[in-house]
Amino acid sequence: MTETTKTAPALTGERADLLEQLAKSRFFLRFTANELTDRQAGHRSTVSGLTVGGLIKHVASVEKTWVDFILEGPSAMPDFSAMTEADFAARENDFRLLPGETLEGVLAAYAEVAARTDELVATLPDLDAAQPLPKAPWFDQDAKWSARRVLMHIVAETSQHAGHADIVREAIDGTKSMG
């Protein structure tokens, strides 16, 4: 008896474009960590508190939360309008490697998040499905975002932080992602 395996058809169009841009943005972010030690990945090399490892950790966390939002709606996110200064200060831990965290672990967690997102992009029945945004001072009241809009936001967030990581990495040892 022979088993046959059905292969899913290759994605085309918008979904393929989203996956390609996500992959490119993720590549540049991960590339900034290439050959860094855990110490270097957690090193603040500029006046900001940003580190290469912390930026990767943050992007993974944000991507996971936004994918949860696509699937579960605003309950997947906190009510930002009710957060205190202490809550926001605690969120700063998203941007740094904490004791016991390693670059390898952060990259592995990011790979898991990315795989989940990619699977969602490939299989979500409707990219137009929208959810109301959580309460936050930076969102318009009663605004909704479609899954498509959220995915574009993930691409933008990843690209922006890849640029931050590139600057942080260059200040560590002169290595650049591009140029």
Q: What is the pLDDT of residues 10-54, one digit of tens each?
A: 788 999 999 999 999 999 999 999 999 999 999 999 999 999 999
13-173 fold: Four Helix Bundle (Hemerythrin (Met), subunit A) (1.20.120)
pLDDT at 111: 98
pTM of the model: 0.91
Assigned token pair, 149:
């809009």
| Residue 82 to residues 1, 44, 71, 86, 154, Cα–Cα distance (Å) | 61, 30, 23, 11, 24
Rounded to the nearest integer, the mean pLDDT of the chain is 93
What does the alpha-carbon distance between residue 169 and residue 3 come to, in Å, rounded to a whole number?
49
| Residue 6 to residues 9, 13, 149, 163, Cα–Cα distance (Å) | 9, 21, 31, 39
pLDDT in tens, 47-65: 999 999 999 999 999 999 9
Beta partners for residue 131, in sequence order: 145
